[in-house]
C-alpha cells in the first residue's frame, strides 16, 4: 500500500520533489539538526500530543467552527460559500496553531528565548502569547514600514512582554524582518530558537509548520461533512508563505476530487514591485534557506514585493506549494487590492465578520469563483484571521461604502 501523502513528503532531506531542502550557513547546520531531531522525537510522543490538545481546547479555542456564509452566497448567486473560522482563534488568526507547538518544542530543547519575524504582526503576537503562556523570552523582528502600518499589533507584542526589533534595511517589510531575525538567531543559537511564522525556511520548518497547521484541515473535513454530507468541491486559502493554506489543504490532499486553490495577492498590478504573486510570476530560486519559486529582480535577487495584506507580501512561497502546483494538484488564484477591499466590506456587511486583509484575498477569489459555478457546488474558504488590526488603515484609504447592496 502507498504511504499517505503527508508521510511521504517531504523526503529525509526536506525535499518536496526539487523544492525545499536546507541551504544554510555552516554555523546553522548543527542547530537545525537539533531542531529536526527534537521534532522527530516529540511528534509521536503521547505527552506532546496531549499537551498540544489541552492548550488548543482549553486556551486557544479549538475546534473553530465552519460557518455557512448564506448572505454572501446569495449575493454571488452561485456556489455555496462556507468559512473555516480561524479568525476565532485566541489572538485572531491561525498562527497560534504552530506557535503553541513551536514553543513546546523550544521548552523540550531547554531554550530560554524564542526569536521570529513578523509581517502584519500576527505571528509576532501569537508567538509572544505562546511565550508568555509557557514562560519564555520572546524577540520579534519587524520591518519599520509594517511597524507603522500595524501599530496595534506592535503595542500588543510589547504588552505581552516581547521585545520588538525594527528591521531598517531595504524595503523594511517582511523579507527584511526575516533577514534580521535570522541574524539574531545566528548570534545566539545556544539559548534561543527561531520560530518561523509559515511553511517556509530550511527543513524541517516547512514540514513542521504544515503538520502543526494541519489541524485546520482535519477539523474542517469532519465539520464540512456535518454541514453538507459530502466533501467540498473547492477549498480556497490565501497564500503568503502558505501555512493556513497548507493547513487546510492537508485535510483534503488525498481527495483528488477536491480542487485546492491557493490565492496570491495581485496588489496593484502585474509589474514587478506591484504584487507578490510568487507562484504566478516567479521562477525557481533559493532564498532564506530553501529552494522554491520566487520573484526575482533583474539581478536575480529577491524582487521588491507589495500587497495591501502585510502578512502576504513575501517574494517566495513555501516549497510544498511550489511542488503541489508543479504537480498539478493545486491551482493558483489571484486577487488584487481592490477586490480584497471589496471582499473585506462585503463579508463585514453581509455576514457580520470583519476579515483580515490577508483573508479577504481568499474571500475575494472565492466570490469570483462562486459566480462561475452552479448553486449545487460548494467552496470552503480558510478565513485565516480577523480584521481588527486593519480597520484604521482600510477606512482611511477606502471609504466605507454607503450602501450594502
Ligand X SMILES: *Cc1c(COP(=O)(O)O)cnc(C)c1O
Verify binding: residue 358, ligand X, rule CB under 6 A: yes
Of 55, 196, 294, 312, the one binding ligand X (CB under 6 A) is 312
Closest of 266, 293, 95, 83 to residue 196, by C-alpha: 95
Q: Of 93 and 103, which has the nearer Cβ to ligand X? A: 93
Nearest distance, CB of residue 8 and ligand X, angstroms: 22
Verify binding: residue 120, ligand X, rule CB under 6 A: yes
Q: Strand 192-194 and strand 163-167: pairing?
A: unpaired
C-alpha–C-alpha distance, residues 41 and 192, integer Å: 19
Q: Of 136 and 238, which has the nearer Cβ to ligand X? A: 238
C-alpha–C-alpha distance, residues 80 and 74, integer Å: 8
Which of the stretches 64-72, 165-173, 352-360, 363-371 binds ligand X when contact is defined by CB under 6 A? 352-360
Of 243, 307, 330, 378, the one binding ligand X (CB under 6 A) is 243
Buried b (16+ CB within 10 A) or exposed e, 358-386: bbbbbbbbbbbbbeebeeeebbbbbbbbb
Distance of CA 34 to the CA centre of its chain: 25
Number of shown-chain residues binding ligand X (CB under 6 A): 21
Beta bridge partners of 93: 385
C-alpha–C-alpha distance, residues 205 and 20, integer Å: 10
Which of the stretches 25-33, 61-69, 163-171, 241-249 binds ligand X when contact is defined by CB under 6 A? 241-249
Of 180, 198, 276, 330, the one binding ligand X (CB under 6 A) is 198
| Residue 281: all three cell numbers together | 510570476
| Residue 258: all three cell numbers together | 477536491
Verify binding: residue 384, ligand X, rule CB under 6 A: yes
Q: Of 14 and 262, which has the nearer Cβ to ligand X? A: 262
Distance of CA 97 to the CA centre of its chain: 10
Distance of CA 79 to the CA centre of its chain: 25
Verify binding: residue 122, ligand X, rule CB under 6 A: yes
Are residues 172 and 148 in contact, defined by beta-carbon separation less than 8 angstroms? no
Residues 86-115 contacting ligand X, CB under 6 A: 93, 95
Of 353, 356, 366, 379, the one binding ligand X (CB under 6 A) is 356
Which of the stretches 102-110, 214-222, 239-247, 330-338 binds ligand X when contact is defined by CB under 6 A? 239-247
Q: Name the active-site residue from 243, 292, 359, 384.
A: 384
Closest of 107, 79, 83 to residue 94, by C-alpha: 83
Verify binding: residue 242, ligand X, rule CB under 6 A: yes
Q: Name the active-site residue from 36, 84, 95, 149.
A: 95
For 246, residues 6+ apart whose C-beta sits below 8 A from its C-beta are 199, 209, 210, 213, 214, 318, 320, 321
Verify binding: residue 239, ligand X, rule CB under 6 A: yes
Annotation marks residue 257 as catalytic: no
Annotation marks residue 283 as catalytic: no
Verify binding: residue 238, ligand X, rule CB under 6 A: yes
Q: Of 189 and 214, which has the nearer Cβ to ligand X? A: 214
Q: What is the DSSP string of 38-54?
A: HHHHHHT-HHHHHHHHH
C-alpha–C-alpha distance, residues 126 and 63, integer Å: 17
C-alpha–C-alpha distance, residues 115 and 127, integer Å: 9
Annotation marks residue 45 as catalytic: no
C-alpha–C-alpha distance, residues 42 and 105, integer Å: 8
Nearest distance, CB of residue 208 and ligand X, angstroms: 13
Q: Of 78 and 154, which has the nearer Cβ to ligand X? A: 154
Q: Name the active-site residue from 22, 36, 80, 117.
A: 117
Alpha carbons within 13 angstroms on the beta-carbon side of residue 58 total 7
Verify binding: residue 333, ligand X, rule CB under 6 A: no
Can you list the positions of beta strands (E) in 66-169?
A: 66-68, 80-85, 113-118, 137-143, 163-167
Query: Which helix (H) or strand (E) is 351 found in, with range?
Result: helix 337-351
Beta bridge partners of 286: 291
Which of the stretches 8-16, 161-169, 234-242, 394-402 binds ligand X when contact is defined by CB under 6 A? 234-242
Nearest distance, CB of residue 311 and ligand X, angstroms: 3
Nearest distance, CB of residue 262 and ligand X, angstroms: 9
Of 267, 311, 315, 319, the one binding ligand X (CB under 6 A) is 311
Verify binding: residue 288, ligand X, rule CB under 6 A: no
Nearest distance, CB of residue 99 and ligand X, angstroms: 11
Q: Of 51 and 56, which has the nearer Cβ to ligand X? A: 56
Active site residues: 95, 117, 384
Residue ranges binding ligand X (CB under 6 A): 93, 95, 120, 122-123, 198, 238-245, 311-312, 356, 358-359, 384-385
Amino acid at each position: 500500500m502507498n504511504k499517505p501523502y503527508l508521510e511521504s513528503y517531504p523526503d529525509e532531506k526536506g525535499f518536496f520533489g526539487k523544492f525545499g531542502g536546507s541551504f544554510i550557513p555552516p554555523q546553522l547546520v548543527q542547530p537545525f539538526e537539533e531542531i529536526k531531531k527534537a521534532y522527530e522525537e516529540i511528534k509521536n510522543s503521547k505527552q506532546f500530543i496531549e499537551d498540544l490538545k489541552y492548550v488548543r481546547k482549553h486556551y486557544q479555542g479549538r475546534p473553530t467552527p465552519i460557518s455557512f456564509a448564506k448572505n454572501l452566497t446569495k449575493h454571488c448567486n452561485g456556489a455555496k460559500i462556507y468559512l473555516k473560522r480561524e479568525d476565532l482563534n485566541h489572538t485572531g488568526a491561525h498562527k497560534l496553531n504552530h506557535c503553541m507547538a513551536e514553543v513546546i518544542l523550544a521548552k523540550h530543547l531547554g531554550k530560554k528565548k524564542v526569536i521570529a519575524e513578523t509581517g502584519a504582526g500576527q505571528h509576532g503576537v501569537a508567538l509572544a502569547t505562546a511565550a508568555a503562556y509557557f514562560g519564555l523570552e520572546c524577540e520579534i523582528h519587524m520591518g519599520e514600514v509594517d511597524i507603522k502600518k500595524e501599530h496595534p499589533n506592535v503595542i500588543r507584542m510589547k504588552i505581552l512582554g516581547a521585545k520588538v526589533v525594527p528591521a531598517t534595511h531595504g524595503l523594511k517589510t517582511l523579507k527584511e524582518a526575516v533577514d534580521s531575525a535570522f541574524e539574531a538567531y545566528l548570534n545566539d543559537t545556544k539559548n534561543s530558537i527561531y520560530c518561523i511564522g509559515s511553511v517556509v525556511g530550511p527543513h524541517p520548518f516547512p514540514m513542521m509548520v504544515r503538520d502543526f497547521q494541519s489541524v485546520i484541515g482535519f477539523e474542517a473535513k469532519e465539520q464540512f461533512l456535518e454541514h453538507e454530507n459530502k466533501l467540498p468541491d473547492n477549498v480556497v486559502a490565501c497564500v503568503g508563505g502558505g501555512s493556513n493554506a497548507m493547513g487546510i489543504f492537508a485535510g483534503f490532499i488525498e481527495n483528488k476530487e477536491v480542487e485546492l486553490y491557493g490565492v496570491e495577492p495581485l496588489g496593484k498590478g502585474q509589474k514587478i514591485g506591484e504584487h507578490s504573486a510568487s507562484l504566478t510570476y516567479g521562477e525557481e530560486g533559493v532564498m532564506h534557506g530553501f529552494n522554491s519559486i520566487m520573484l526575482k529582480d533583474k539581478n536575480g535577487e529577491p524582487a521588491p514585493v507589495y500587497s495591501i495584506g502585510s502578512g502576504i507580501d513575501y517574494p517566495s512561497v513555501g516549497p510544498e506549494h511550489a511542488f503541489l502546483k508543479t504537480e498539478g494538484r493545486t491551482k493558483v488564484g489571484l486577487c488584487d487590492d481592490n477586490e480584497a477591499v471589496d471582499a473585506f466590506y462585503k463579508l463585514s456587511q453581509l455576514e457580520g465578520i470583519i476579515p483580515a486583509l490577508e483573508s479577504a484575498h481568499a474571500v475575494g477569489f472565492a466570490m469570483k469563483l462562486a459566480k462561475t459555478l452552479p448553486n449545487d457546488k460548494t467552496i470552503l474558504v480558510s478565513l485565516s484571521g480577523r480584521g481588527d488590526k486593519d480597520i484604521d488603515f482600510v477606512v482611511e484609504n477606502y471609504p466605507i461604502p454607503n450602501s450594502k447592496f
